[in-house]
Chains A and B, each alone.
Chain A
């Protein structure tokens, strides 16, 4: 058996069948185990090695089906859809699989079920080896709730409430259950019952598209490098056309003569196969690559792709006059390659009156929100954040100031509009307690300012300048 360290406690991480026979359990403190079995052989747990072995096992299991995924810490998923008849049916496949595993000294349980979640549950907590198609619910319902792959906290909470079986949980009304235990429980329940689709990520991902060029004579000039990137991008796009995919992220890796390397990464806002456009994205940053004694190899890797269907993008002769549906994705990509994708955004209205929160950033190519701020709100074009304190004097409480001093300049107020009271939104975590009374004032020289007092005058409210109008 092995032992792992959780915080300051040493607990049993894994144990073999003999250890189980002696009464040892996973999660038991080491001291207790040693008290039970004095001559206990203890090894330190090595989760990394365990995972590596699991991956190795998964690679071995590819002989059963091409879609195999390791499920750490101790599971393996094999998608046998369409592959079971090769070994004479599901049961024969399982017998063959467990037989060959035990030959290697691996004690394993294997179950065939409609859904990965159901197979997981039955393999660990149920009986039988093949759950007949369509009978998943019957097979899973009598199992303990631990079969749902839930966190220990959730299991504890269920235990306190007397929910022991999956069937009990499934019979509960959905809404209160989600409220009490969280969305994850509902998801796991659906996955175990086979109601929700659960993708498994196969061990061998689909081959990434790569285009490489190796030079007999190392290149060092920027122009050459640019030219090579163009050619690679063309090659790569041709490959992706065959696969019906478009590029979302692209990595350029160069290897120098002295075996040092450099890499650049660009992203696109929309899947694309336009090789000219993609090559251009690197143009701006190619000079940052230090060619040193020369570059020996250049590789372009489509590290993230998306399905992309061929579509007509342009009709020659008909210029895109209707600009409302103009495709901005290329512009966004080019700008993103210069300043970083997070610095390009649109602002969407937020239904609030607190000025600092009225707009939120959304990605530049999000669909139009269609919503606007209420047009009756007269808001400045420039907002000072944070507001700047001003010295101001109002003739009467609740009146706009007669003058104010901002940045050492005295402004005489000629006309004013207000107050407009904006209260803090404590439910969104506003720290300040005072409401603000905003005034739009025009000075005798025509400048218009947005100033506010943060509390009524008799409570010592101070004046602030928050924005500038036209």
Chain B
């Protein structure tokens, strides 16, 4: 066998890199938030792979925050976006707030959840697309692997928005899939303004699963009109919010 364990590990790394060449070849999409980008392998969201986005808010069956998060990613990718859905609760003027222009989005709807994934796969075969968004409840290991391979082959990024309406369906989002990242987005209390009104929304963005990186969570400001996230001003460069709070009360 190998003389030194280091050599063996290096060899294995090379093999893995070779296997994953499809996704490594493309330049990842940075979020523009240094803390997030530095944590992600390749300093950004890998293109040409499958990503899962799950909402974990009080009204998570509607996935309002996760939708905007997804739209923000899709808006920053180049090219048309295919959005596969089963319910008609998506509100296009809302997507525009993340910079996703209505001319760029082609919608395709089906009546059954199980019909969405074939449509996503069909979209992933089309190289000209920027991203394919699919709203699904069920996503198995085999199906996700298939989509992942299709995405790697064409270089189109797949964004799967997990929707659920019953507790049993919500539990499905915990099952493993072949997606390269899994994000969970939950709204948190936003910064109070000096006058009555609402400022920029704030999210807790959890990287629940990521190939090649540890799970991590951040408090971020919601997408702006160009789909960019931001680090909250009062949290930037202050790693421990608890200390800040203690200092303020003192």
> Which of A326, A369, A449 contacts B128, CB < 8 Å?
A326
Q: How far is the CB of B197 from chain A (nearest CB, A)?
A: 5
Q: Which residues of B contact A186 (CB under 8 A)?
A: none
**Those of B88-108 within 8 Å (CB) of chain A:** 88-97, 101-103, 105-108
Residues of A within 8 A of B90 (CB): 381-383
Output the least CB separation between A236 and chain B (Å).
24
Min Cβ gap A446→B in Å is 4
A335 cross-chain contacts in B, Cβ below 8 A: 108, 119, 122-123
Contact, CB under 8 Å: A468 / B64: yes
Cβ of B214 < 8 Å from any Cβ of A? no
Interface core residue of A345, A406, A417, A468 (most chain B CB under 10 Å): A468
Which one of A323, A380, A415 contacts B64 once the chains associate, using CB atoms below 8 Å? A380
- Residues of chain A within 8 A (CB-CB) of B126 are 328, 330-331
With A and B bound together, what is the CA distance between A359 and B102 in angstroms? 9
Residue of A nearest to B189 (CB): A446
Please name the residue on chain B nearest to A379 by beta carbon.
B93
Q: Is the CB of B93 within 8 A of A373?
A: yes
A470 near B189: Cβ-Cβ < 8 Å? no
For B91, the chain A residues whose CB sits under 8 A away are 355, 358-359, 379-383, 467
- Asked if B196 is an interface residue, CB under 8 A from chain A, the answer is yes
Contact A415 B122, beta carbon cutoff 8 Å? no
Interchain CB contact under 8 A, B196 and A416: yes
Given contacts A338-B119, A416-B198, A447-B58, contact A381 B64 (CB under 8 A): yes
Q: Give Cα A46 to B19, complex, Å.
A: 76
Q: Does B14 contact A (CB under 8 A)?
A: no
Interfacial chain A residues near B203, Cβ < 8 Å: 470
Q: Are B122 and A379 in contact (CB under 8 A)?
A: no
Q: Does A332 contact B (CB under 8 A)?
A: yes
**Total chain A interface residues with beta-carbon distance under 8 A:** 60
Query: What are the residues of chain A within 8 A of B217 when measuring CB–CB?
Result: none
A82 at the interface (CB under 8 A from B): no
| CB-based nearest A residue for B222 | A470
Is A368 a contact partner of B103 (Cβ separation < 8 A)? yes
Decide yes or no: A320 and B128 within 8 Å by CB, A444-B189, A446-B188, A470-B64 being known contacts. Answer: yes
Chain A residue contacts of B65, Cβ below 8 A: 469-470
Asked if B45 is at the interface of the complex by the 8 Å CB criterion, the answer is no
**Cβ of A381: which chain B residues have Cβ within 8 Å of it?**
64, 67-68, 71, 90-91, 94-95, 97
A41 at interface, CB cutoff 8 A: no
Measured in the bound complex, the distance between the Cα atoms of B222 and A414 in whole Å is 18
Interface of A is mostly: mixed
Contact status B78-A323, CB under 8 Å? yes
Flag if A415 contacts B187 (CB, 8 Å). no
Contact A446 B128 (CB under 8 A): no
Contact A384 B89 (CB under 8 A): yes
A344 on interface, CB distance cutoff 8 Å = yes
Residue of B nearest to A347 (CB): B92
In the complex, what's the smallest C-beta–C-beta distance from A319 to chain B, in angstroms?
Answer: 8
Within 8 A of B (CB), among A333-382: 334-335, 338-339, 343-349, 355, 358-359, 364, 368-370, 372-373, 375, 377-382
Contacts A323-B129, A382-B64 given; indicate if A358 touches B196 (C-beta within 8 A): no
Within 8 A of A (CB), among B163-220: 186-190, 192-193, 196-198, 201-203
Is the CB of B110 closer than 8 A to any CB of chain A?
yes
Which A residues lie within 8 Å of B88 (CB)? Answer: 385
Report how far A8 CA is from B198 CA in the complex, Å. 69
B223 at the interface (CB under 8 A from A): yes
B-side contacts of A416, CB under 8 Å = 196-198
Query: How many angstroms between the C-alpha atoms of A319 and B96 in the bound complex?
Result: 29
**1/0 per position for B108-125, CB-CB distance to A under 8 A?**
111000010011001100
Do B201 and A448 have beta carbons less than 8 Å apart? Answer: yes
The one of A344, A348, A379 in contact with B102, judged by C-beta atoms closer than 8 angstroms, is: A348
Residues of B within 8 A of A304 (CB): none
Per-residue contact bits, chain A 12-46, to B (CB 8 Å; 1 contact, 0 not): 00000000000000000000000000000000000
Distance between A399 CB and nearest chain B CB, rounded to angstroms: 10
Min Cβ gap B68→A in Å is 4
State whether B80 touches A446 (Cβ < 8 A): no
CB of B100, distance to nearest CB on chain A (Å):
10
Is A443 among interface residues, defined by CB-CB distance under 8 A? yes
| Cβ-defined contact, B188 with A359, below 8 A | no
Task: List residues 396-435 of chain A with CB under 8 A from any CB of chain B.
Answer: 406, 409, 411, 414-417
Give the shortest distance, in Å, between A37 (CB) and chain B (any CB).
65
State whether B189 touches A445 (Cβ < 8 A).
yes
Q: How far is the CA of A443 from the CA of B187 in the complex (A)?
A: 10
- Indicate if the CB atoms of A346 and B106 lie closer than 8 Å: yes
Say whether A411 contacts B102, CB under 8 Å.
Answer: no
Contacts of A344 in B (CB 8 A): 106-108
Interface residue? A459 (CB, 8 A): no
Given contacts A324-B79, A339-B115, contact A359 B92 (CB under 8 A): yes
A to B CB contacts below 8 Å, 11 in the list:
A327-B128, A334-B122, A344-B107, A358-B93, A368-B103, A379-B93, A379-B94, A381-B97, A382-B94, A415-B193, A448-B187
* CB-based closest 6 A-B pairs: A326-B128, A323-B79, A468-B64, A381-B94, A446-B187, A383-B91
Excluding A375-B225, A445-B58, 16 further A-B contacts by CB distance (< 8 Å) are: A323-B129, A338-B119, A359-B102, A370-B103, A375-B97, A380-B64, A382-B64, A406-B59, A409-B58, A416-B196, A446-B58, A446-B187, A447-B59, A447-B64, A448-B64, A469-B201
